[in-house]
Homo-oligomer: A and B are copies of this chain.
Amino acid sequence: MAIEIERKFLVKGNGWRNQAVGQVYRQGYMSTKDGITLRARVAGSKGYLTIKGPSVGNSRAEYEYEIPLADAEEMLNTLCGSRLIEKIRYRIYHGEFLWEVDEFAGDNLGLIMAEVELSYENQTVELPEWIGEEVSQDKRYTNSNLSKNPWKNWSSI
């Protein structure tokens, strides 16, 4: 297992784009409760299955396994219902940190978020100038919630 400790921000402007190479992610969520997340993901030609435990602060237990691409595709098609997310993920190094910028499509089109993974809670991170409002604690912005209640339904932007 890994403990995933991350902070999440909205992205402002396009200052990040010139350094960025993107990959299409398609992912879906199976029906869980009590803070458990069960996600199938297709990233390029690879499939992944991920379980996340309940959040404590910015931390969450995370187990991720590579699985056959065909299995991941089938799970998206048969076990996730309409709870699907499509986005382009860009990986951007800034100082010692890797930022993952997600540009959403579909019903979350217009939403661009950046995540940074920390080694420990309260680690100091230098924020790139294209980082906007922090939304780490706003559960509406989890991908799992965005698959149920997409951004277009509640964003005032």
Contact = CB atoms under 8 A, between A and B. Distances in A.
Interface string A115-149: 00000000000000000000000000000000000
A33 B32 contact: yes
Interface string A21-65: 000000000111111101000000000010101000000010101
Interface stretch (A6-14, A74-82, A98-106): A74-82
A61 B33 contact: no
A111 interface: no
Chain A interface mostly: mixed
Contacts of A81: 34
Given A30-B51, A49-B49, A36 B79 contact: yes
B53 A78 contact: yes
A47 to B, nearest CB: 11
Interface of A: 1, 30-36, 38, 49, 51, 53, 61, 63, 65, 67, 70-71, 74-75, 78-79, 81
Given A32-B33, A38-B38, A51-B79, 8 more contacts: A1-B74, A32-B32, A32-B36, A34-B81, A53-B78, A53-B79, A61-B79, A65-B65
